[in-house]
Chain A
């Protein structure tokens, strides 16, 4: 649209609640976070908070690594799953979708708590294993458990956008691909995959963003060396520290990581119509 939009009182009034909301709950809090990140306890400008983060480089890298791995695993599960669901009869598709969304009704903390009850050293799974004479498995308090917890919690957010895009592919396009010589695999590679890229990008963003800022899952299910940025921020705010400036600096870094990741991801959908999702 090249036309300049004319200012009108009506549209200004209509937009006002949105702007008020955005200012109150998005812009001002962000400004506060940035203010704390760049100031000492007395309100003077300083880089010291940011510079002090170099001690936490390992945690930041670990958070990135864990969330990349968790996102990759959710994708590897979600894509074939969506493909299979898309080929079901419509009634079965509805049921499958319900099972995907059902866990989203339950609070993340409760789910994680239940998971740890299941997987704990003396949890239900290990009790069962012992009962059949198999012996205990180290299911908890390790990196695998953290990744598992993240995949378990964030899987629906990968499935839904992919399924949404995939189920809207015109059946005639798939027939055209078969007609032009594609077997099932080459049909996925040449037609289904390129057409589902926007869904994949949304899915990656929707899983990666909460993954990278995960807390509690890593604290609850991980070992001593598995805590992530989220846990670190929580630790700075809570307990005896009450170190808001460092917590804010960590949050600012986290936001920067997310922003950069999203900018990179959006490159993949730039040329597709209706592609660029979020941002």
Chain B
């Protein structure tokens, strides 16, 4: 029964001090899925997770678990376990007792606890650490204890609240692979919260992009990247040039002073649209042969590619190429029909996708913390 919905949120709304944190959220999570809530700090992703865990009750709307409404079920009665952002390990218990905690609470017979705890410690590669104090473990080891402590209870759903944000880059990558492996081995539904789009794309079956307390898009990582629904998603996931355009008719769009052939259909005649061009999809050609022309205002060597900022009629495009170009050069730009992605206008139109004020510093996430 892998296609049954294990968690369903219907019309879930929540406000704090008159401010809407979640705005009529609808969401289904299938059993056995790896789902990621992706969004910036304050978008409502952690709040959604806490509603599923039972730490928050929605003002309006319903939460269903396996088809049963659980709005009023307290956290300790839900077959859901959480991995907290800072692990929240019990400092008065050693590694073994932390992992055994849930089993002891549920009055599991003593002779069953030991094999279960040891199996979990094996799953997270912490054999031999049983007697260690959790306060003396490294971040990665504490992370593993937290995973074992949650999974030993065999929850139907595991909630992970930015569990990797406190780890350094190398350990993060390892833990991403590790978490994916554990999810496959156990078949437990994982709901993972992160602000890191790369993490979301590389780990998940399904990505839920959130902003302003609303779901902006739900889809597979490939869908989300290739077919963003609006300017927010296009900008948040990867780099995007988002350009004002007009959809003349099916498969034909005009922007940057040129009419392009594309593969998008279902728009009204002459509908104003947002056009997304990914930096790696731009073909650079000699300026005479280009569909549009632009002048390179900035060229940055990035190791395996060059990142160019190109001024096309006053709008700055980001272009990635493996060939070397100089600042000040004029180049031609050509676009394949399937490199062009057309979106309806949205509340986010005009907010994102222009690289005129771009700098690498702004690209880095200033806060790994959340809400």
Contact = CB atoms under 8 A, between A and B. Distances in A.
A46 B266 CA distance: 109
Contact of B101 (A172, A190, A272): A190
Contacts of A176: 82, 84, 88-90
Interface stretch (A28-36, A152-160, A177-185): A177-185
A179 B102 CA distance: 9
Given A190-B101, A190-B105, A180 B149 contact: yes
Interface in A60-109: none
Given A175-B55, A273-B135, A183 B76 contact: yes
Interface in B175-216: none
Contact of B75 (A172, A178, A273): A178
Query: Most chain-B Cβ atoms within 10 A of its Cβ — which of A180, A181, A182, A183?
Result: A180
B90 A181 contact: no
Contacts of B55: 175, 178
Interface in B119-144: 135
A197 to B, nearest CB: 8
Contacts of B92: 191, 194-195, 272
Contact of A180 (B54, B86, B135, B153): B153
Contacts of B81: 179-180
A52 interface: no
Interface string A179-213: 11111001000110011000000000000000000
Given A170-B88, A175-B55, A175-B84, A181 B74 contact: no
A158 to B, nearest CB: 21
Interface string A254-279: 00000000000000000011000000
A40 B82 CA distance: 71
Given A175-B88, A195-B92, A181 B105 contact: yes
B151 to A, nearest CB: 11
A173 interface: yes
Interface residues of B, number: 26
A83 B333 CA distance: 68
Interface string A227-269: 0000000000000000000000000000000000000000000
Given A180-B81, A180-B153, A194-B92, A175 B75 contact: yes
A132 B343 CA distance: 83
Contacts of A170: 86, 88
A170 B135 CA distance: 14
B53 interface: yes
* Category for how many chain A residues contact B: 10 to 19
Contacts of A173: 88, 90
A276 to B, nearest CB: 15
Contacts of B88: 170, 172-173, 175-176
Contact of B102 (A181, A272, A273): A181
B359 interface: no
A190 to B, nearest CB: 7
Contacts of B102: 180-181
A181 B89 CA distance: 15
Contacts of A183: 74, 76
A234 B85 CA distance: 59
A273 B133 CA distance: 11
B90 A191 contact: yes
Contacts of A191: 90, 92
A263 B182 CA distance: 48
Interface string B70-97: 0000111000111011101111100000
B357 interface: no
Given A186-B105, A190-B101, A195-B91, A181 B84 contact: no
A191 B135 CA distance: 16
Contacts of A186: 105
A272 B93 CA distance: 10
B106 interface: yes
Given A172-B86, A175-B84, A180 B53 contact: no
A195 B91 CA distance: 8
Contact of A181 (B85, B135, B153): B153
B108 to A, nearest CB: 10
A258 to B, nearest CB: 28
B109 to A, nearest CB: 16
Contacts of B76: 178-183
Given A173-B88, A273-B135, A179 B101 contact: no
Given A186-B105, A190-B101, A190-B105, A179 B91 contact: no
Query: Most chain-A Cβ atoms within 10 A of its Cβ — which of B74, B102, B150?
Result: B102
Nearest to A176: B88
A176 B50 CA distance: 12
A242 to B, nearest CB: 53
Given A180-B81, A194-B92, 17 more contacts: A170-B88, A172-B85, A173-B88, A173-B90, A175-B75, A175-B82, A175-B88, A178-B54, A178-B75, A179-B81, A180-B76, A180-B101, A181-B153, A183-B76, A186-B105, A191-B92, A195-B92
18 contacts: A172-B85, A173-B88, A173-B90, A175-B84, A176-B90, A179-B76, A179-B80, A179-B81, A180-B81, A180-B105, A180-B150, A181-B106, A181-B153, A186-B105, A190-B104, A190-B105, A191-B90, A273-B135
The 7 A-B residue pairs with the shortest CB-CB distance in the complex, in nearest-first order: A172-B88, A180-B102, A176-B88, A181-B105, A178-B75, A194-B92, A179-B82
